Amino acid sequence: ASTDVFGVPIEDTVQRQPPSWPIPHILVKCADYLILSGLNSLDLFKSEGDKKVVQKLVSLYNQDLNASLPEGVNPVDVAALAKCYLASLPEPLTTFELYNEIRGARSSIHAMRNILKKLPTVNYMTLELITALLLHVSQKSLLNKMDARSLAMEMAPIIMWQKGRKPEYCRQFWNHPSKNLSKKNMDPTPNYNAWDMLAEEGESVDASSPIPLDDGLPVDFGAIDVIQCLIEHHNAIFTDANETVWR
């Protein structure tokens, strides 16, 4: 549908929003909710949450990109929704073009800071928001059991991947009929029914079971190192980002 935010290029979604802040509204809502009421939740960003709840939230935002999260929703489900959105993007936040440069800069804060400035503004600001949120989560790791390395292992595959190497587990969120779309034939209007059927498969599975890393592709430890670097050294890397109240 033309109102969809899932499976749509990130810049298209932001263009439909008020121009004041170049970050998808859904991610801002998720981040604000988790900062206020979810940082202590066990296995945050590791548990896949309740699939039926996540499915309803996906439908909610596909119908209204400015929707608010329902009161009392489980923080684990909100984190799963944010992952679900990132996993649905046709191109990762770090872009295909800069994959090698970003991966190669993972041991240098200075180099990382300069390379990330090559990203489109929407990507840069969104990456800053997500990694700021993950930093806050990691600072509560005694309670939520998710330190920077654990968070990086969960988030790297959906923030940074090579063209044609999107992790298979994303398909439980993103059941697009054609995989590995190239930039030329990316479909900006995904199959909405695929989202409606999000929770159809595997409903008997434990709702809090972690998302498996073993998806048939080798683990990209370089990408994991990058995301860990962005979390642990967030404030040194994103020195010119817009500040929010909680950051």
Over residues 58-93, the pLDDT tens digits come to 999 999 999 999 999 999 999 999 999 999 999 999
21 to 15, 88, 241: CA distances (angstroms): 10, 21, 12
- Please report whether residue 60 resides in a domain: yes
Q: For the chain, how many structural domains are there in total?
A: 1
User: Would residue 243 count as lying in a domain?
Assistant: no
Distance CA 1, CA 98 (A): 30
Amino acid at 100: N
Per-residue model confidence as pLDDT tens digits over 99-118: 999 999 999 999 999 999 99
Q: Establish if 133 belongs to a structural domain.
A: yes
pTM: 0.82
pLDDT at site 193: 40
Hey, is 158 helix, strand or coil? helix
pLDDT, residue 48, reads 87
Q: Which domain holds residue 192?
A: 10-237
Q: Identify the band that residue 18 occupies on the pLDDT scale cut at 50, 70 and 90.
A: confident
Give the per-residue pLDDT at 3: 80
Whole-angstrom Cα distance, residue 120 to residue 13? Answer: 14
Note whether residue 121 is domain-resident. Answer: yes
pLDDT tens digits for range 180-190:
333 443 434 34
Q: What CATH number should be reported for the domain holding residue 195? A: 1.10.555.10
What pLDDT, in 10s, does the model give residues 124-147? 999 999 999 999 999 999 999 999
**Residue 4, domain member (yes or no):** no
What whole-number distance in Å separates Cα of residue 47 and Cα of residue 1?
29
Which is higher by pLDDT, 154 or 19?
Answer: 154
Q: 173 in a domain, yes or no?
A: yes
In a domain, 245, yes or no: no
Q: How does DSSP classify residue 243?
A: P
Classify the C-alpha dihedral 1-65-146-71 as positive or negative. negative
Residues in contact with 214: Cβ distance below 8 Å, sequence separation at least 6, in sequence order? none
Q: What is the pLDDT of residue 219?
A: 87
Residue tagged 């479909």 (tokens): 187
**122 domain-assigned:** yes
Tally Cβ neighbours within 10 Å of residue 211.
21
Q: What is the mean pLDDT of residues 168-173?
A: 55
166: pLDDT confidence band, cut at 50, 70 and 90?
confident
Residues 7/107, Cβ–Cβ less than 8 Å: no
